Every structure is written in C-alpha cells, then in structure tokens.
Structure 1
Amino acid sequence: MPTHEDEPAWPSDDSDTPETAEGADGATDEPAADAEQDSGATAHLPLPEVSLPEQPTLWVERPKEQAEPQESAEPQEPKAEAPNPEAPRAEESKPEAPKAAPPKQEQPESDQERTAFLPAIQLPPRAQQRPTQQQGPQQRPQQQGGPQQSGQQPGGQRQNPQQGGPQQGGPQPQQRGPQQQNGRQRWPQETSAQVTAPQQLQPQPQPQPQQRPAPPPRPIPPAGLQHAQPMRIEPSGEVRPAESAQPDEPTPPPPPEQPVKRKRRGLLIGAVALVVVIVVGVALALPPVSNRLGLPWAPNFPKADTPEPAAVTLALQPPSSSAPTPTNSGVAAELAGPAANPALGTLAGIVIDPATGSTLWNHNSSQLLTPASATKLLTTSAALLKLDHGLQIPTKVVQGSSPDTAIIVAGGDVTLSALPDGQQSVLPGAAHLDDLVAQVKQASGGSIKKVQIDVSLFSGPLTAPGWAPDDAPSTYAAPIVPGMLDAGRPNPTVDEVLRSADPAGTLLQTFAQRLGATASGHATAPQGAKVLGEVRSAPLTELVDNLLQISDNTLAEAVGRQTAIASGAPATFAGVAQTTLNTLAQNGFDVSGVALNDGSGLSTLNKVPPRLLAQLLTVAAAPDNKDPRTAKLRPLLEGLPVAGGSGTLADRYGDANSSAGKGWVRAKTGTLSGVNTLAGVVLDKDGRVLVFAMMSNGSDIVAARPALDALAAALRGCGCG
C-alpha cells in the first residue's frame, strides 16, 4: 500500500478506523465502537484528526509513520459567518503532527461512514463553468503564529459550522442537525460523500477490481460554511455525483403496446372506406345516376306530390269483329254519287270485306288499267313473300389487284347516305358512307391510293320500257345501278330533288375523296378478295315502308332486283317484272292478263286490274292469321300513307267532299299523266275495315285526285248495314 507522507489530512465524518480522539481538554474519547460496516472507497484511508480554522468537523488522524502535511497556501476566506470565538481549540497549531492514539484493530466500516458528509466548499470559477464536474479539494490552510480554533464547544461537543441552505449550483441533500453519539456530537451521515478531483476526469467504465486501489494524494479542501454536494468516490478513483437517497417508488407498468400490424390494418381499412364513401358520394351526385335512381337531389326528382293520372280516352279503336257487316246495296248507295263524277274518266274499282272476303262493291274490277305507282304494291308484295323480312342489303369494299387499291362492291343498297353519322336522310335507317370509309382506313392502315367500283350486280338498261326520256334523272327517279348515295339525291334531306345522272360515279368520287385516294373508274372485284369494310341497309320491312310512304321509284326498283336475284332471275327490269308475277302467282294470286315492265310503276306499259290490288290488301288486312300469307304481307299496311297525315297523302283530303276520310283512309297512290290510282283500307263508322282499289285512266290529275279522295271518304261514312 502506498504511503501518504505527502498527503495532507483529509477531513471526514467517517469512522474509517477505530481511533481515540483527543478532546479539547486532553481527554481521550471512547473508541468508535459503533462504527458502521461499509465497503466504500475510503475504507483504506487512515487519516489523522486535524483541527481546522473553520467550523468544526470531524477529521481522521493520519498514521504516525506518515510525514507531516505540508503547509498549505493562503487560506481562503469563508463566505459564511465567522466561527464561534468562545469555542475552545482542540490543540495548538504546531509544525509537527498531532498525537494519535495507538491504532486499534480496524472494525469493518459501514456505507454511511465511508460516505459521510463533508463540509461544502466554494467552487472556483472553472468548476462553476462545468456544473457536471467539481474541482478537486484544496489544501487545508493552517494559521501561523497562533492557536487554531476548533469547531468544538466546551464539553467536547462540536458546533455546526453553518446552518444555511445547500450550496447553489447542484442538488444538495437535506440538512439535518447534529446527533449525539458516544459522548461526542456528530453530523448526520449520508449514504454518499464526494470530493471532486482538481483535474477534469473523463468517464471511465466501472471495473470490478479484486483489490481496492489507493486513491492519489489529494489536497485538503478548506472548510466551508455550506455542505458540499455529495460526491461518490468509486474504487477505481472515479468521482461522480452521488445519487440522492430517495425511497424507491414503484415503477408504473408500461402501457400495453398495441400490435403495429393491427393498427396499420385499421388505418388501411379506414382509408379504403373513406375512398369508397367519397367515390360513391361523387357517383350519386351525378345527374344521370341520381335521376336514374330517383334520389331526392336528382334534377328530375318531383318537387311536388305526384299528380293523379289523367283520364285517357282512346280516339282510335281497333276494328270490331262484331260490327255489322255492310251490305252490297248499302255500299253501292254510298258510292253511287262519288263514282259518277266525270272527272274520274274511266273508272274501275272494287270494295271487299277482309273479314269475310266478300266483295261489297264491284265496278269493272277486272279491267286492265295503268296502275302508275300502285305497281309498287305488287313489287313489295312479291319481295315480302319471297325474301326474309330482316334482309339487309350490303355494300362492301375489298382489296383490289394491289394492296394500295380498293374496290367498292355495290350490293344494290341505293339508300347509302352521304350524311355524317347521327344525321337522318329522307330514308330513315340508312347506312352511312363515313362508317365505310373509317373501316377501310383502319383495315388498310391508310395505304389505299386508288379506288374503283364494281356495279356488275345489276345488268341491262338503266331505264325501263315505257319510261319517258326525262324520267331518269328527274326529281322522282335516277338511273338504276346497284350503288349510289341517297337514291341519287344530291341533298339527302329533300325528297323531290333532281337526282344524279351517274349515281355510281358520284358514289365513287365521294368515297375516294373522303378516303384520300384517287377514283379510278369501274372494275370487277376478284373472287375471295380481302374485305376491308362493309355496311348494310335497313331491314327489308323498313325499306318497304319507306318506298311506299314517299313512293320512291329508285328504291322500289332496287327491292325488285333483290327478289329477282333471290329467284335466280337477272337483276334487270324484265327480270324484276317476271319474278314479281311469278312470285304472286305461286302464292295464289290471280295475275292473269297482268303486264309489268318495271317495279316502280313509272312505265306506262304496265297493266293491272283493280281486283289484283284489292286481293293483295285483303290478305294483308285479314283479321286473323289463318292465312299464312297474312303475316308476310302485313307490312304493306304499315307503309300505306295516311289521308291528310303522311307520305303522298299528307296534303290531301282537305276539301269538304273528302275531309270525312281524313285520318281514316290509308292508301297507296299512283299518278301519271292521265292516270290516278288509290288502293288501300278504310275504317267505316261502324268500326268495320273495308279494302278498296280505285283506278282512273284518261282523267286530269288536278280534277281526278279530289274525286278519288271523295270516293274513298264516302266509304268512311258508310253504315251500309
């Protein structure tokens, strides 16, 4: 163990070693038999008891073999109040060390004695700059030339050097008063005491030494008037603030940790739910959705109570099967006056009850007369009997002899419209050329540079026998070819407009221009050529309805050619005429003596009796479907113009003689120079359907038309029972 000859006496309140302290009167105190056991860092420091000029404290005597402590430097003036002058000095300050009692056997030291409280010292400025580190103790000053006053009072008791509070700059333990122990006054012991080193100490790990190393020599700190901050001297020599002795408080249990995954899952579910709510809210706020669902905020939602439905009285009633049957005499009486009108010229006509098939009025019904546009009843009847009612006429574009060539294959659809998509021509339901152009562009990738047209489907002359030279082109007809735009009309929205003289050429030029290619005339499409695009017309029933309503001659000829092609006949005027008669004959209609030269009725050479026209309408107007032909011919009735309401009868039945039939007469008209025909159905005042066919030849158009209208209107007022 190193010697402590150069080390001054350390003040301590510990009882590190059993000793006999000499009081002021020279008496020897009892050995510190109550020394507590301790394993502190000061257990190996036998320090002598030395009197200090400051307030009294307990000093440990240094062993005799140690050298006397060197004189300390000038003592620092204590900042606290002066010590009590009446307190007797423990001993004179002498150059030699004071006598020490003979050493006794060391008792085990307690923790309290090792860490007894030391008097507080005034920290130098350097220590104040570093509050976490304390300066080391200074050497204890000794007064020269006079006796030292001890802090001990008469009676062997020591006086507390200061009753003030703890020193500023750090936490201080609570002060307690002196206690009497073994005949001498001792200060309360704390669980730790600390004297800081003069040099700055770095934190060091705390080893677990087997033996306690001796601390380096430290100067004696001057006695202060305040208690120093408790410091702990570790066995390794490290000095650090002592932990304040506070009762252990129970550590509250940590809050239970929520599973992170569950928390994240909850956040994710919440976010998804919020997004769904927002999306649904936005969707429900849209007018189309809110209107369809009938939500309260919908624009179409009723703002008031729903009104009571108004009573509806049907103005049009279906034909009654129990209506009284007209008699021949009754009908003849009704028609006698109107039929005698000389404006009618040569008149032939017939009235039939379709419910019974009986003839009610017959006036030269077998006489062959020119029917004019009433011929369309024969053409459309043959088509309805022969063709599928859903037939749609195609127009194709195929690849030509080279990849940059396209050929329009005209399939006979003369209704193909030049109007943009969404706009309607006078022929409703027509396909649009723009659609065909778009298909070709997409299929070819825009590589088409040349366009040709194949019109080989139709053959023969472009006009029929019996047509006047100015019939085609005209405002009511065009040369008949299998490919054209809007039935040859330059303005698709106007019915009676001068048609194109070369409707196929017009189609070719328009298509090439919209495709960005060059029109290169006529060609025949190769067999099995690649199809670049295709569009189709409206179904057959709609085509029949259109051509009957406005009496479109060009469309009638095109439909007649579809019947001829389906029958294996050539697609010519003669082929259409022959196919029409053959088809009607095959379906039980009497076509004896009938002569046809076209399908539209423009030919003045056509000869048809009124009986045949009435027979076709009677089958179409039958009250039941017992006759299988009725279902096929029923579309004829839908296409018949309404008197004073639609088609070619829209501007008729306005005078006093014919107004009774307005809205009740539905009939196909036929007009040529000197020819007027009216064939259709009428509902009499008893609710009975009557079929009629009236033909007038050799009459003036202006005078014959109202005369025929008055004749049909008379049937409307017929009670005829």
Structure 2
Amino acid sequence: MHFAKWFHTSALLVGLSLLLGGCASVSQMSTPAALDKLLSDPALHGATVSLMVRDARTGSTLYQHNPRTRLVPASNLKLLTTAAAMDVLGPQYRFSTQLLSNGIRQGDRLTGNLYLRGLGDPSIQFADYQALAAQLASQGVRQVQGDLVFDDTWFDAERLGVDWSHDDETTYYGAQISALTVSPNTDFDAGSVLVTAKAPLRAGSPVSVDIFPSTDYLQLSNRAVSGPGNSYGINRRHGTNLLQLSGAVAPGRQSQQLVSVWEPTQLVANLFEQALAQQGIMVLGRRVMGGASPAAVTVLAEHQSAPLQELIVPLLKLSNNNMSEALLKAMGRQTANRGTAAAGVVAVGGFLKRQGMDTAALNQVDGSGLSRRNLVSSQALTDLLLAASKQPWFNAWYNALPIAGNTDRMTGGSLGHRLRATPAQNNLHAKTGSMGGVSSLSGYITDAQGRKLVFSMLTNNYVVAGAQVKALEDRVAVSLSRSED
C-alpha cells in the first residue's frame, strides 16, 4: 500500500483529525488516511502499534498513532545505547586488553605474577591474544615464576542480562558478557565459538567436527551423521560446555553454527595458555581466575580495539548484542566506576536528560534489547533520532545504521535485502528489531521533495509470521519516501 498524494489544506487536515479521534493525530501531513489504512491491516489485528513520523529539521509531528505507548523495542534499544556511548565514551574510545606484571625480570625469567587484564573488548580475537604472547616473548621472557591471573573485574560477574530468555542461552546473540572475552570472527560475536560439522559422502557415517578457536575447553557428544533431511542441531547443556550434536547433515555438505560458551573468561584462559606455550613461555605457578590486578604493576604488552566510531558499524549493521552489553557496562565503569548494566543504564539516562528527554517515560534494563522488560515508545525513539542529528558524531552514527536495499553486508546490514527497487533503497537509514511477537523499525528517510523525516514504528503482540509485519514496515517506509507536499 502506497501513500496517496499528500494533501495541503488545513480544513482537510482538521476534518481528518476529527474523524480519526483519539486513535491517531496529524500535523502538517496529508496522508493520515493512507497510514491508517496500513495500520488497519489484518496482520495487526489484536496487536499494538506505536508509530510516529516527524520532520527531521523542525521536529514537528507529521503523524502519530499511540505515540506514547511503551512497547518492547527489541534491538531498536541499541539506538539509545550506541548514541549514549558516542556521547559518554566518545567516538575515539578504545577498549584495551593488557598483559601486566608485579614482578621483576631476571634474564629470561619473570619473577612475580603475570596478569591478563580485560577491559571489556568484545572485538578481541584469538590472534590478538597470540600477539600479546608474542610481545612478551620478544622481550626475552621464557619463564614466569608466579601465577597467571585472569582479571575480568572491570565488569561485574553478571554474565546475562535481566530477564533474558533461557531459550537464548546457547545462542551467539545470547552469549555471556565478560570483561575478558574472545570473538571467533570479524562480526565480533564475543563469547561464542564456531562449530563446523562436515558430513562424509557415505550416509550414516558420523560427521567430523571442528571448533574455532581450537580449544579443549569444550567437550563433544557427537550423534550427528551424514544423511538426508535438515535435522542437524547443537545443544549446550546448561552450566557446562558439553556440546550435544544430533540429527543429519546432507552428504558432502557442512554446517557452521555459532554456540555460546559457559564462562568466556575460562575460554580466554585456555586460549592464552595455548598462546604462551606456542611462544615457548612456561608458567610455573597456578591459573587464577577473576583476580584483580594490583595497582603497582608494569604494562608488558597491550592490545587496543578499533575506535568506537568504527566498532558501531558491525554493532548496528549486524545488531550485535554482546557488543551492546559491553558498551553499556563500559559506560557504567566510565561514569560511576562500576562495570554493571545498572550503572550503564544510569549513564544512558544522563545522556537522554541532557537532550531534554523524559527518562521517566521509558524503561531500559540492558544494552541490546534482548530483555522484554525494556519499554520504549515511538515518541521517545523519534526524540532520540532528532537529538542525535544535532551531535558532532552524528555522521558516523548515521552511516553505521543499516541502509535499505544495499546488499553489501557492512553497508546494508539487516536491511540489505529489504526495500530493493523502491525509493527507500539507499535512502532509508534505520535500525531493525525482532523478537517473538515483536518487530521494530526506526530511522531516517528522505521524501520525494528532499525533506528528511525521522520515524519509528514499534509493533508488539502480533501472532502472524514476523515477515508479514516486516512487510508492513517496508510499506510504511516506501510511502514516506514517495510522499510529496
């Protein structure tokens, strides 16, 4: 459904407003009937929708439907988290991982403890830990006469967000949060490993399994075989790193799946000990988990992440949950010296208040939007979009949003295959959101007259397939892109 031509006369606008009553209101917009028709689609029967459209330059409201109704935003919450992080931490903020010691050098021996201290970097990979070990080896150290301490105390020990579903526990997007973690890929899915199952040509034969990064921290129970159908799956038993593989993979094919680990710090410990051994460095003491680094230490090696303005690209394009949670806790540490989600939420609230927003009108409990206790309205999200557009870091943040119809993965992101061959293609910059019964789309779009609009559409409690609601979001976007004064 597309917009009809936008009307001009005030009389007609007033008449339409009276007809719409309390359901929707309009100001200086000529397509309320078209939008109302979209929102009356049978797919939305029994659902709740909050939709708001505003002029990006003036902030004036062009259309609203339940604008102050608070709904679960899913990943649209990342708009709040990342915008606040750009303000609180700054576009040039970098995460750091440090190799420290309180000992002294005696030839090739380091007398004292060796500390691996994580400051929350969700982008660090096994190769980076190998580089830290190589930096130590390049200084001539071959033996540590002390303990190897893994310090993840920059963040608290709460590994999951508030009210996250147990169904998400083994998924990469529900991975545990730690200040000392590791990512298996350049998407930065921290706290997970990549499991590849390869099926031999002979049906009935067991699949071979590779885990990356290679580690003996996980155990396998492999009942998966080569065979017809699409029944292959992996389950990680709660509280363990026992991966149970079952079902069938087509002969000669392979299946790759990211699986979260139990206690990411322990995985880092396993991998870093491997990295030290590869460099011929022997640690004579114990492995100590979660010990805090003392104040009087020497920095022996350090790895820094890319700056935040670059990290938000995979975060927003691919809707990365673990990166969002790391940012939230980093903001808590920055503003209150507490690496907790609660402190991070207060920091986000401080940013919103500085933009003149009413923080009492929303509820945030995590950084990613995975919790259903997050509640935001389209009014609040459009307020945020307007406020962000006035910030010095806006261009970097705006370009990090998914861009409709652009199939380059790090350009289009979650919108790469939506709205192609429409006026919204390479026009709409917006954040998507999806959970069971929840869909959201909020961002910026330019209409046919060159006027930039901000809009937010949140939909909850639908029972149809999510694709039907996504299709309605797309139709709203197309209508906005075709609208004319």
- The TM-score with structure 1 as length reference comes to 0.49
Q: Does 1:336 align with 2:101?
A: no
**Alignment-derived partner of residue 500 in structure 1:** 261
Alignment CA distance shift 1:470-1:510 (3 Å) = same
How far apart, in 2, do the equivalents of 1:356 and 1:665 lie? 19
Match of 2:317 among 549, 554, 560: 549
How far apart, in 1, do the equivalents of 2:155 and 2:120 lie? 8
| Cα deviation code 1:328-376 (max 9, x no counterpart) | 3324244233232232421111111111221111111111111111111
Q: Displacement, 1:690? A: 0.9
Q: Which amino acid counterpart does residue 650 of structure 1 have in structure 2?
A: G
Q: Which amino acid counterpart does residue 595 of structure 1 have in structure 2?
A: N
How far apart, in 2, do the equivalents of 1:357 and 1:675 lie? 27
| Cα deviation code 1:679-714 (max 9, x no counterpart) | 011111222211110000012423211111111111
**Alignment-derived partner of residue 481 in structure 2:** 716
How far apart, in 1, do the equivalents of 2:459 and 2:391 lie? 28
Q: Displacement, 1:406? A: 1.8
Give the gaps of 5 or more residues in structure 1: 1-325, 420-431, 622-628
**Alignment-derived partner of residue 142 in structure 2:** 446
**Alignment-derived partner of residue 287 in structure 2:** 520
Q: Displacement, 1:400? A: 5.2
Counterpart of 1:608 in 2: which secondary structure? coil
**Alignment-derived partner of residue 63 in structure 1:** none
**Alignment-derived partner of residue 55 in structure 2:** 353
How far apart, in 1, do the equivalents of 2:345 and 2:133 lie? 35
| Between 522-531 and 326-335, the greater mean CA deviation after superposition | 326-335
**Alignment-derived partner of residue 113 in structure 1:** none
**Alignment-derived partner of residue 480 in structure 1:** 177
How far apart, in 2, do the equivalents of 1:712 and 1:436 lie? 47
Q: How do residues 38-187 of structure 1 correspond to structure 2 at under 5 angstroms?
A: none
Q: Does 1:395 align with 2:97?
A: yes
How far apart, in 1, do the equivalents of 2:297 and 2:338 lie? 24
Q: How do residues 671-690 of structure 1 correspond to structure 2 at under 5 angstroms?
A: 671-690=434-453
How far apart, in 2, do the equivalents of 1:548 and 1:339 lie? 27
* Percent of residue pairs identical: 28
**Alignment-derived partner of residue 234 in structure 2:** none
Match of 2:299 among 526, 531, 553: 531
Q: Does 1:691 align with 2:454?
A: yes
Q: Displacement, 1:539? A: 0.5
How far apart, in 1, do the equivalents of 2:315 and 2:365 lie? 18
Q: Which amino acid counterpart does residue 696 of structure 1 have in structure 2?
A: T
Match of 1:704 among 455, 459, 469: 469
Counterpart of 1:661 in 2: which secondary structure? coil
How far apart, in 1, do the equivalents of 2:118 and 2:256 lie? 23
Q: Which has the larger radius of gyration?
A: 1
Match of 1:580 among 323, 348, 367: 348
How far apart, in 2, do the equivalents of 1:502 and 1:632 lie? 35
Match of 1:643 among 383, 395, 404: 404
Asked if the contact 2:136–2:300 (Cα under 8 Å) also holds between the matched residues in 1, the reply is: yes
**Alignment-derived partner of residue 122 in structure 2:** 414
Asked if the contact 1:384–1:632 (Cα under 8 Å) also holds between the matched residues in 2, the reply is: yes
Q: How do residues 201-600 of structure 1 correspond to structure 2 at under 5 angstroms?
A: 328-344=28-44, 345-399=47-101, 403=111, 405-419=113-127, 432-448=128-144, 451-486=148-183, 487-491=190-194, 497-516=258-277, 517=282, 520-522=287-289, 523-568=291-336, 570-600=338-368
Asked if the contact 1:454–1:525 (Cα under 8 Å) also holds between the matched residues in 2, the reply is: yes
**Alignment-derived partner of residue 240 in structure 2:** none
How far apart, in 2, do the equivalents of 1:666 and 1:349 lie? 17
Asked if the contact 2:102–2:296 (Cα under 8 Å) also holds between the matched residues in 1, the reply is: no
Alignment CA distance shift 1:605-1:446 (3 Å) = same
Asked if the contact 1:451–1:508 (Cα under 8 Å) also holds between the matched residues in 2, the reply is: no
Larger RCO: Structure 1 or Structure 2 (Cα < 8 Å, ≥ 6 residues apart)? Answer: 2
Asked if the contact 2:67–2:377 (Cα under 8 Å) also holds between the matched residues in 1, the reply is: yes
How far apart, in 1, do the equivalents of 2:166 and 2:310 lie? 30
Counterpart of 2:442 in 1: which secondary structure? strand
Q: How do residues 28-39 of structure 1 correspond to structure 2 at under 5 angstroms?
A: none
| Cα deviation code 1:1-22 (max 9, x no counterpart) | xxxxxxxxxxxxxxxxxxxxxx
CA RMSD after TM alignment? 2.4
More strand as a share of residues? 2
Alignment CA distance shift 1:506-1:534 (3 Å) = same
| Cα deviation code 1:366-398 (max 9, x no counterpart) | 111111111111111111121222111110011
Q: Which amino acid counterpart does residue 649 of structure 1 have in structure 2?
A: L
**Alignment-derived partner of residue 377 in structure 2:** 609
How far apart, in 2, do the equivalents of 1:341 and 1:528 lie? 65
**Alignment-derived partner of residue 249 in structure 2:** none
Counterpart of 1:533 in 2: which secondary structure? strand
**Alignment-derived partner of residue 163 in structure 1:** none
How far apart, in 2, do the equivalents of 1:459 and 1:677 lie? 30
Asked if the contact 2:154–2:333 (Cα under 8 Å) also holds between the matched residues in 1, the reply is: no
Alignment CA distance shift 1:642-1:496 (3 Å) = farther
Q: Which amino acid counterpart does residue 703 of structure 1 have in structure 2?
A: Q
How far apart, in 1, do the equivalents of 2:295 and 2:453 lie? 52
Q: Which runs of 4+ in 1 moved over 4 A?
A: 492-496
